[in-house]
A and B are shown apart, each in its own frame.
Chain A
Amino acid sequence: MSIPAITVTNVIKQFGRFAALRGVNAELYGGKFYAILGDNGAGKTTLLRALAGLAHPTQGTISILGMTPQTACCEIGYMAHPSLLYDEMSGMENLRYFARLYGIADDERCAQVVRSVGLDPELARPVGQYSQGMRQRMSLARAILHDPKILLLDEPFSNVDVHSAGEMVGLLRAMRDSGKTLFVVTHQAALLQGVADEFIWMQAGQIVSRTLDLPADFTGPVAR
């Protein structure tokens, strides 16, 4: 595993006069679980969107599995703050539609993914009426639907109760163990203690430090 799965070389992302990313450099390796921490406005979400190919860097390059983010889209699973699901459709209908985008036709795969995030495939209620926690799980299900090698998750545990957050962390750990690369932006760093292989700290659009685990007396402003 010598070649990095994701290579980010001095990426700058400008929105008009504001620079969200200010020269980010990173090499991320396959089969690793990376936790991205930092205050609001540190550029975590922008970096995630850049990795997913949704935001083109103003300067600098990003290569994912040796390809550009756009061409590597089959291997990327992306989850964002908004649910990226249609509120009027039920969870299964949403997944069935998104599966079609990836060329997956069988329903069994959708049902299996829904069960793996701890939800009931037969639930007919539209996603709009889901609780926030359920909606995040269904959004995670959509992100892992096509079994991507790389998972880019933006605060998957926010407003999820502690019990189900623990389950989701277990699920992500299992995925990391099965060889996937995870890139998780979160404010609940404590949840990933002992799970994440590396913690990447971002501040003001740059990566300021990378630690193997959280410092023992960690009560920094980041964790809630």
Chain B
Amino acid sequence: MNSLWSVTLATLAKDIRLEWRSKDALNSMLFFSLLVVVIFSFSFDPLAEESRRIAGGLIWVAILFAAVVALNQTWARELRNQVLDAYRVSPAPANALFLAKALGNFIFVSVLEALMAPLFIVFYNLRAVGPAWQLIPIALLGTWALVVNGTFFAAMSIRTRSREIMLPLLLFPVSIPAVIGMVAGTTAILTGDDPAHFWIILLLTYDVVFTTACLALFETVLQAE
């Protein structure tokens, strides 16, 4: 078991080091997220009363699109020199690679969220009527729900012809319950008129179910040739 974690950490450390070394991917994604937020603020008038009610939906749809663009880059580095083959030939477990990539993406998308959320709060001068601390579990569980499936489907779509469009096509339908959970949970807290417990439980269930499914099936997808 420890070999799995040591390989996971080694792969994660390698990814973070590479990301830190050439920060171009991170900077371009941060700027992309900023663009998404600004465009949203123009298309949905921040001053109108309804905008405050749908702000929960706006934030998460914006994050969803930024995340998909980021997730498309998950395997870019491995594909450049077919480094995946080197990994597949080694005795290292496939799930270690998956966990490392998923955690890497989780950190990456969380950084994007850390930029986008404050911007939304500023543009829409949001104030949580309900218990604001519950936004944290919703954000964490929701991001993991997108990232774990996104990493899995990104690995699946590198085996198909038109790679960039395949990921959203596979990811969005399956992620609908998670998106509903995030949006409804966030809106419930922002407007404060409903409890958000159910949505947190839903997101937790979603994460458990799909993390297990990903770990069970990643080997099949990685070695499918």
Q: Is A in direct contact with B (CB under 8 Å) within the complex?
A: yes
A: residues with CB less than 8 A from B are 49, 52-56, 70, 73-74, 76, 78, 80, 82-89, 97-98, 100-103, 142
Task: Report the minimal beta-carbon distance from A104 to chain B, rounded to whole angstroms.
Answer: 11
Within 8 Å by CB of A73, from B3, B10, B83, B91, lies B91
Which of B10, B18, B77, B89 is the one whose CB lies under 8 Å from A100? B10
Chain B residues within CB distance 8 Å of chain A:
3, 6-7, 10-11, 14, 17-18, 21-22, 77, 80-83, 85-92, 223, 225
Check A97/B14 contact, CB under 8 A, given A54-B85, A78-B89: yes
Known: A70-B223, A86-B18. A76 touches B89 (CB 8 A): yes
Q: Which residue of A lies closest to B97 (CB)?
A: A101
Most buried by A among B80, B87, B223: B80
Find out whether the CB atom of B90 lies under 8 angstroms from the CB atom of A87: no
Partner of B85, one of A80, A97, A101: A80
CB distance from A57 to the nearest CB of B (A): 11
B-chain residues with CB within 8 Å of residue A102 when the two chains form the complex: 90-92
Q: Is the CB of A78 within 8 A of B85?
A: yes
- Taking a contact as CB atoms closer than 8 A, the residue among A49, A52, A74, A84 that contacts B81 in the complex is A84
Q: How far is the CA of A52 from the CA of B223 in the complex (A)?
A: 12
> CB within 8 A of A54: which of B17, B21, B89?
B89
If A54-B225, A102-B91 touch, does A142 touch B85 (CB 8 Å cutoff)? no
Q: How far is the CA of A142 from the CA of B80 in the complex (A)?
A: 17
Q: What are 20 A-B residue pairs whose CB atoms fall within 8 Å in the complex? A: A52-B85, A53-B88, A54-B89, A56-B223, A70-B223, A78-B85, A84-B83, A86-B81, A86-B83, A87-B80, A97-B10, A97-B11, A97-B14, A98-B86, A100-B6, A100-B10, A101-B10, A102-B91, A102-B92, A103-B91
Please state if B81 and A82 are interface contacts (CB–CB under 8 Å).
yes
Compute how far the CA of A107 lies from the CA of B143 in the bound complex, rounded to whole angstroms. Answer: 37
Would A55 and B85 count as touching, CB distance under 8 A? no
CB distance from B120 to the nearest CB of A (A): 33
Contacts A78-B85, A83-B81, A97-B10 known; 13 new A-B pairs at CB < 8 A: A52-B85, A54-B88, A54-B225, A73-B91, A74-B91, A78-B89, A84-B82, A84-B83, A87-B80, A98-B86, A98-B90, A101-B10, A102-B90
